[in-house]
Chain A
Amino acid sequence: MSLGPDAGRLPAAYLAAGSSSFTEFLGAHAPQLLPSGRRLPAGSFEAPHGTTIVSATFDGGVVMAGDRRATMGNIIANRDMEKVFAADEYSAVGIAGTAGIAIELVKLFQVELEHYEKIEGALLSLEGKANRLASMIRANLGMAMQGLSVVPLFAGYDLERPGGRIFSYDVTGGCYEEKDHHSVGSGSLFARGSLRKLWRPGLGTDEAVSVAVEAIYDAADDDSATGGPDLTRRIWPTVAVIDDAGVRFLPDDELRGVVEQVLAQRDGNPGGAR
């Protein structure tokens, strides 16, 4: 291959005017880097799956928590995987489904939001972010049909309408705003039941964190694929708090306190009746 006079020059796609979307740029210039740009061979196989994510609003924001387990069939593939990520300064995304693809999508989504910020010099609106994520999930439909589905939960602080908001998705890229609280993943049925009983309007931040951790505990209680708090290894659920100060992840020692409190309440009262 001979190097032409243009060797090393930025390709035309870089200099093209218009799009402030990183995904669109990749689609035009380097589609092999997009999860949806790959051809899959026929056949099925097992890959690690992430499990339960819960999210609950509180007065002035929203919390998102995820368990730490990834499973592959009946095997625990990973005990301390992180499934809740900061998407940008004011939003977080939690993932359930095929772990490899989900993490790739989150990484792409993070770059997508930062790319827009840098090119436009402004933040995307919360709905704008939620819709961008929807179009990424939609593009992944082919993979989902082969068993590699990704179902995220998106939560953020809305700067225009101060408060926390939660968005859920289906594999076809449908994006639905959820009121108050929501959960996705294999343990979500149990977590939703738990949230329904524990959540109430006007919760404070600490109470909402405790409710989210308890919902993860209930999911782990009945769903084998969801990992509960692991006291011997000191593995706690990942908990992100999103409010007007941005996203922050609770440190391990704080989480330990929350978990110990939940466990103390359940001592001799495994269903958490109150």
Chain B
Amino acid sequence: MAQRGIREYHGKKMLARHLDAYLEDSIGYDGKIVLVHSDTNWDELVSDNPWLKSEKLVAKPDQLFGKRGKHGLVLVNKEFDETRSWVQERLGKQQTVNGIDGVLTHFIIEPCVAHEVEYYAAIKSGADGDTIFFSLEGGINVEENWDKVVSIQVPVLKGIEGLDIEGRLPESLGKNRKLVGSFLKGLYKFFAAMHFAYLEINPFAIAGDNIIPLDLVAKLDDTAEYLCGKAWGDDLEFPAAFGQNLSPEEIKIRELDALSGASLKLTLLNPDGIIWNMVAGGGASVIYADTVCDLGFSKELAMYGEYSGNPSTNLTYEYAKVVLDLMTRKKDSQGRPKTLILGGGIANFTDVAKTFTGIIKALNEFGDKLKEVNARIFVRRGGPNYKEGLANLKAAAEKIGVPIEVHGPEYHMTRVVSDALKA
């Protein structure tokens, strides 16, 4: 992976914990915010955060999606009891957001802060350096007023130290110009030190000497965990995108993936589809999926899947079982045969015969079911012992009575896809 979204809650908590260290002036953010989910103990929450009872509150979902106001998912300026029942009514409920169905599982509650102006600040990392964006007119319309956004490029090697941020900000900031300049500089140092890939505070307000981040979106570079894990906090998580409700099979493959050094991936696209790609290798798996789609069969592509990183025979067996189970649950409604494409490029050092042993074991187990759905198998693979692997696979399928075609590296990698689609 690399760049991954985090919750607004964790972003703001990190800001509250660390921003001070990067600021020259005594501006800061107090970090009054709580995260609420189905397991939350509300009494404990209140005793740990007494401000919940003494201040007017704001509540909204915290699940990596925006435009919450437009969907009526922001509660503003209410007492605790009302806020609590508003959140409880929505927790665990199905909701359609920006066209995606999902379940509301996490909310944040913060004090409602009176403010006049709303500023926009964002930092984005790019190949040539990071860019700081600032606008006097923050809020939901910032994109429509993009011409008013000031952007400041921070070069990779020189960094921000020598840059005059304050001087690049609009004069109309007035007395806040120095404060905002200093804040942006500190925010950038925080961004860099914490290995953010993206950080947007839109909008933020200023109340006295305090910066109030009203809304925050952030992505971290998760490979920096070994450097920043402590600073990120023990409770940091990288939530799945909203509406990504995983099937039990997808969850099982994720668990297998997490348990081993090898890589196993499964995303169900259309369980009724007739093309089942089980492909070795990250790069090759994408190309097999592409080719099915490019040849006009995207609707029939049942899954995106990949196994790589030298999985053990047993792991390959477990993976193949999940795929074959999904594939053989029901016959195609139009009576068409189902196609299993066991694809792959030329392996570097993975013993192809060995990994195929796991697949053969699974094929034998699902032999009758494969025949019931009229399955056909197309194989293409190269690498150490591929000849033996292909011969074993062919013999196994023929014994079961499932039609099979096997090819080695002399056959163009994706030609089995066009063969399968033509057949």
Whether chains A and B associate is no
Chain A residues in the interface with B (C-beta under 8 A) = none
